[in-house]
Structure 1
Amino acid sequence: MKKLLTFSLLLVLAIVLSACGKEETDATDNTSKQEETKIKVASLIPPMTDMLEIVKPLLKEEGIDLDIVILSDNVQPNSALAAKEVDANFFQHPTYMEQFNKANGSDLVAVQPVYHAILGAYSKKYKSVEELPEGAKVAIPNDSANIARSLQLLEKGGLITLKEGVGINATQKDIIENPTNIEIIEVDLLMLARSIDDVDLVTLLPAYAKPLNLTPVNDSLIDEGESDFPISLVARADNADSEAIQKLAKHLSGPEVRAFLEENFADIAIPAF
């Protein structure tokens, strides 16, 4: 009888301990699931989207689920971020962001510079700036930040002269010399690459030049080299210091992204970290 009672007590104890262990496991699993942070990051095209794909599994290891939201124009990522539809974006340089803030009363902030995208001027018709004809048609982006950047590039190539000191605020009204009377046409950033057959010269960021098998180092008539316009991770003032955004910034400026840029995009991009 005593042996039977002892066996019964041991059996009950084993069942209780097993149940407790299961509850602890379930609780741990539930806690892990609850602690996983989800963040949405808006972007446009490679190589930005490629870099986000590289850091996605690295973030997963740290309990952050990255959702990459690919949008179709260069206004939507900032509009979505300002409206809190996404948590960050990765497609622009700080000057473009600041001009969006000024125009929209938003409070976006640059968190981490990632790479310098080298702006270049390309032509399918001519091999040097000197060959451009009188009245050559030149296409540039139509947003204010990249208008100024492109005008500075054209000035570097000797095609125009700008008023002294206009810098990143330059517009066509600031051109004081245009010796060959080039015609500057402002085109939507995402449509610029298509205009290359219709104009004599076009200024393109490398992400849009690469699908045409063009790189600033090898194919441009003028290139800006390292600039003051690094493509950066951007968030809002209210979440820029959050753990998830800071971890994203850490990985976007990590060795994996540097290796990716150096191995695949050395001819169009320079790491900015």
Structure 2
Amino acid sequence: MKKLVSLLLTGALTFGLLAGCGSGTGSTNTPAPGGSQAPSETGSTLEGTVLKVGATPAPHAEILEVVKDILAEQGITLEIVEFNDYIQPNLAVENEELDANYFQHITYMNQFNESDGTHLVSAAGIHYEPLGLYAGKTTSLEELPDGAQIAVPNDTTNEARALLLLQQEGLITLKEGAGITATKADIAENPKNLEIVELEAAQITSRLADVDLAVINGNYAIDAGLKMADALAVESAEGEAAQAYVNVLAVKEGHENDPAIQALVDALQSDEVKTFMEETYEGAVVPMF
């Protein structure tokens, strides 16, 4: 009888030890903000993570398609949500309907925070899209007539960039200190009496034939089949604009260091993506890493 009791106690103790070991390896991770997962007793993992990222079609969504394959190797699923405007993808990140977005430069993001009360931050700078000055009715800067019409984007940040590009080419002179907040009112000298035509950025390519010249954003130039090599002048990648208008991966404040977001940053700043940018866009998209 004593031997039987001893055997039963030994078996119960062994079962308890085995059950205790099993609870550590069989626990389920709870998803944490930013698409990442909370660490288990056996360590952290991003396997099974889903990241939802908003982007405009070109070049951002195209670049993210390359990133998707890189993240898949780590067990991370990237869902790309395309937008055709600059407002909804920011609101979606603010409301945590998206983990991040990739479509805007840092100056626009900061101004959006100020005007709309959002709390977006840059997780990383990724690339720069120089503005190009393209021929419309006039085929060269030398042939530009007095009173010529030049179309520029009508949003605050990109209009300033366009005016700085015109100043870079000696077509106008801006008031001292106007910089990245310049408007038409800051034109101090206009020797050719150029007419600056303000248009929505997305509409300029369709109006190119109606004006003498047009300053066009890189993404819209790509959409219209225009190449940087076709431009009469290009915004310098070495100047103030390159830093002020670097395109960023934007997230809601507090999520910039989430493991899944950092995995996304690493993929965006990989050699594969750099090569894709350089070979695909031929100068219209400049890696900043």
TM-score scaled to structure 2, two decimals? Answer: 0.79
User: What corresponds to 1:234 in structure 2?
Assistant: 250
Identity percentage over the alignment?
42
Deviation readout 1:245-264 (Å, 9 max, x if unpaired):
11101100001101101221
Unaligned runs of 5+ residues in structure 2 are: 1-21, 32-36, 38-46
Deviation readout 1:97-131 (Å, 9 max, x if unpaired):
11111111212111212122121110132222231
For the 8 Å contact 1:118–1:205, the answer to whether it is kept is: yes
For 1:123-142, what aligned pairs fall within 5 Å after superposition?
123-142=135-154
Separation (CA, whole Å) in 1 of partners of 2:29 and 2:124:
31
Deviation readout 1:34-74 (Å, 9 max, x if unpaired):
86222211111222111111111222232322110101112
Point out 4+ residue stretches in structure 1 off by more than 3 angstroms: 27-35
User: What corresponds to 2:70 in structure 1?
Assistant: 58
User: What corresponds to 2:286 in structure 1?
Assistant: 270
Match of 1:244 among 256, 260, 273: 260
SS in structure 1 at match of 2:192:
coil
Match of 1:46 among 44, 58, 67: 58
Q: CA deviation at 1:85?
A: 1.9
Separation (CA, whole Å) in 1 of partners of 2:96 and 2:248:
18
Separation (CA, whole Å) in 2 of partners of 1:65 and 1:213:
30
For the 8 Å contact 1:73–1:190, the answer to whether it is kept is: no
User: What corresponds to 1:202 in structure 2?
Assistant: 214
Distance 1:70 1:250, change over 3 A: same
For 1:96-245, what aligned pairs fall within 5 Å after superposition?
96-216=108-228, 218-226=229-237, 227-228=242-243, 229-245=245-261
Distance 1:62 1:262, change over 3 A: same
SS in structure 1 at match of 2:204:
helix
Separation (CA, whole Å) in 2 of partners of 1:50 and 1:194:
22
Separation (CA, whole Å) in 1 of partners of 2:203 and 2:26:
51
Unaligned runs of 5+ residues in structure 1 are: 1-23
For the 8 Å contact 1:137–1:183, the answer to whether it is kept is: yes
Output the amino acid matched with 1:98: N
Distance 1:132 1:29, change over 3 A: farther
For the 8 Å contact 2:227–2:282, the answer to whether it is kept is: no
Number of equivalences: 248
Q: CA deviation at 1:211?
A: 3.8
Q: CA deviation at 1:28?
A: 6.6
Q: CA deviation at 1:192?
A: 1.8
Separation (CA, whole Å) in 1 of partners of 2:30 and 2:252:
27
Matched, 1:257 2:270: no
Separation (CA, whole Å) in 2 of partners of 1:84 and 1:138:
40
Separation (CA, whole Å) in 2 of partners of 1:223 and 1:81:
32
SS in structure 2 at match of 1:52:
helix
SS in structure 1 at match of 2:211:
coil
Alpha-carbon RMSD: 2.3
TM-score scaled to structure 1, two decimals? Answer: 0.83
Separation (CA, whole Å) in 2 of partners of 1:187 and 1:47:
21
For the 8 Å contact 2:58–2:223, the answer to whether it is kept is: no
For the 8 Å contact 1:136–1:182, the answer to whether it is kept is: yes
Output the amino acid matched with 1:83: N
Q: CA deviation at 1:138?
A: 1.4
Q: CA deviation at 1:30?
A: 7.3
Q: CA deviation at 1:95?
A: 0.8
Output the amino acid matched with 2:102: F
Match of 1:80 among 92, 98, 103: 92
Q: CA deviation at 1:147?
A: 1.1
